[in-house]
A and B are shown apart, each in its own frame.
Chain A
């Protein structure tokens, strides 16, 4: 399966079909999630109306971790199978991942003020999410700072795999340490603890953010492929006179 889409032409074919589908899913789910979350879902019993921030905070936090897990997986694929597009996929996921992380931190801070009385506390969940943002910055900086692409890719893969240690720490931080942050309420062994009237808009927003991420990654990869093709054409053109001289 991995090798099937290592061919850029095959990947472009997939991306041309999948990208509009992802954008459609995003538009429909975001429209439903926003309207239902803001106007039809009830206020939370203890937190009141401020709990509506959940519909933009939880999907952003979910995507922050999912995007990083995707980067780590693609880095592993690039390391083990030398897949030609895996590094490109990982790199395309970095900016959306960093934006989702920043959004999760920001919306969490805005939700924290009316709920906890403070925008920020050095809580294990919040601190590990902030660390994730710095790991994203580091990952993007490696690609920018190292001029030779093969070396940059190697450093970026290593950083991505080492940084993945932080993902289970974020996930289980609310169980391992005393935390102001509430524990998991959707992915639990005994099922979700949220009422369906709040759960459905939340699941719609999570689906919307996931679809948007998919679309952004496909678009980023297609842009990189187009740039790569243009660079190869320039390099081929530049090498032609040399070949002519050699033949003469």
Chain B
């Protein structure tokens, strides 16, 4: 990737976007899995 003198700006902008969105996706997935696990453990304990 060579965009001349603007390369660092483009790399930083795209890099930050990819990292932030990947972090957001990972956080949501972890929270969702934890909630599902909590629900199934709770159900098993109740049965």
Residues of A at under 8 Å CB distance from B?
A: 34, 38, 43, 48-50, 52-53, 56-57, 60, 95-96, 99, 102-103, 106-107, 110-111, 113-114, 212, 216, 219-220, 222-224, 226-227, 229-230, 233-234, 237
Contact = CB atoms under 8 A, between A and B. Distances in A.
Contact of B24 (A38, A53, A57, A99): A99
A111 B42 contact: no
14 contacts: A49-B4, A52-B6, A53-B10, A60-B17, A103-B21, A110-B13, A111-B9, A219-B28, A223-B36, A226-B36, A227-B39, A230-B42, A233-B46, A237-B46
A233 B39 CA distance: 9
A-side binding surface: helix, strand, loop or mixed?
helix
Contact of A57 (B13, B42, B46): B13
A12 to B, nearest CB: 12
Q: Which 7 A-B pairs have the closest CB atoms?
A: A49-B3, A226-B35, A223-B35, A49-B6, A56-B17, A50-B6, A223-B32
Interface in B5-38: 5-7, 9-10, 12-14, 16-17, 20-21, 24-25, 27-29, 31-32, 34-36, 38
Given A103-B16, A107-B17, A227-B39, 5 more contacts: A48-B6, A49-B6, A53-B9, A56-B14, A222-B35
B14 A226 contact: no
B35 A227 contact: yes
A219 B32 contact: yes
B-side binding surface: helix, strand, loop or mixed?
helix
Contacts of A229: 39
Contacts of B1: 38
B6 A102 contact: no
